[in-house]
Amino acid sequence: MNVRLYFDDFELSGYENIKVGSVEELSQLDKFDLGELDELILDHVADYFPINKVEEILNRLSKFVKRGGKFIVQGTDLYEICKSYTNYNIDMVEANKVIYGNNPDRVKRVSFTAVGISSFLEQVVQLKIVKKRISNFTYMIEAIR
């Protein structure tokens, strides 16, 4: 079974799409057994995790993925935003739009970089990183449990 957690309104075919608007709503995964999922995608949801709960949340979520299964984390790369801003490729208005999005009511906590999340998944969660991609301001880290 393949599951995608997301905040936006886009649904990916071939996946059970679970829309989450808060950390509490991650409990929707409890309908699955630990080690049941072939693939779990966190589609920009880590950007909204409270910084002091990231380790706990990622460890918990990774346990739903079976051995040899994929754990994919996608998010906004703070390093890439800062680099573009300091190189004058984007202005402050554009940088804030990337960080906070179009919805001013939902503050986006962009606290991660592709390098940081990769290191965290390898060292803390004990997953093997098999792919890293950065496109514009978005990273995608694919790990195997």
pLDDT at 104: 56
More confident residue, 134 or 50: 134
124: left (phi > 0), else alpha (psi -120 to 50), else beta? Answer: alpha
3-state secondary structure 16-77: EEEECCCHHHHHHHHHCCCCCEEEEEEECCHHHCCHHHHHHHHHHHHCCEEEEEEEEEEEEC
Query: Which positions ≥6 away from 72 have C-beta within 8 Å?
Result: 39, 40, 41, 42, 140, 141, 142, 143
Domains and CATH numbers, the chain: 2-78+110-144 (3.40.50.150)
* Rounded percentage of the chain residues whose pLDDT exceeds 70: 92
pLDDT at 103: 61
Give the pLDDT confidence of 78-112 residue by residue, as tens digits: 899 999 999 999 999 888 888 776 665 555 565 68
Confidence of residue 50 (pLDDT cuts 50, 70, 90): confident
Q: What is the mean pLDDT of residues 35-53?
A: 90
Whole-angstrom CA distances from 138 to 67, 83, 132 are 27, 13, 11
pLDDT tops 70 at residue 139: yes
pLDDT at 55: 86
Give the pLDDT confidence of 1-31 residue by residue, as tens digits: 999 999 877 888 899 999 987 888 999 999 9
β-strand pairing of 37-43 with 2-6: parallel
Q: What is the mean pLDDT of residues 36-45?
A: 95
pLDDT at 106: 56
Q: What is the mean pLDDT of residues 65-84?
A: 94
More confident residue, 104 or 74: 74
Q: In sequence order, what are the beta bridge partners of 134? A: 139
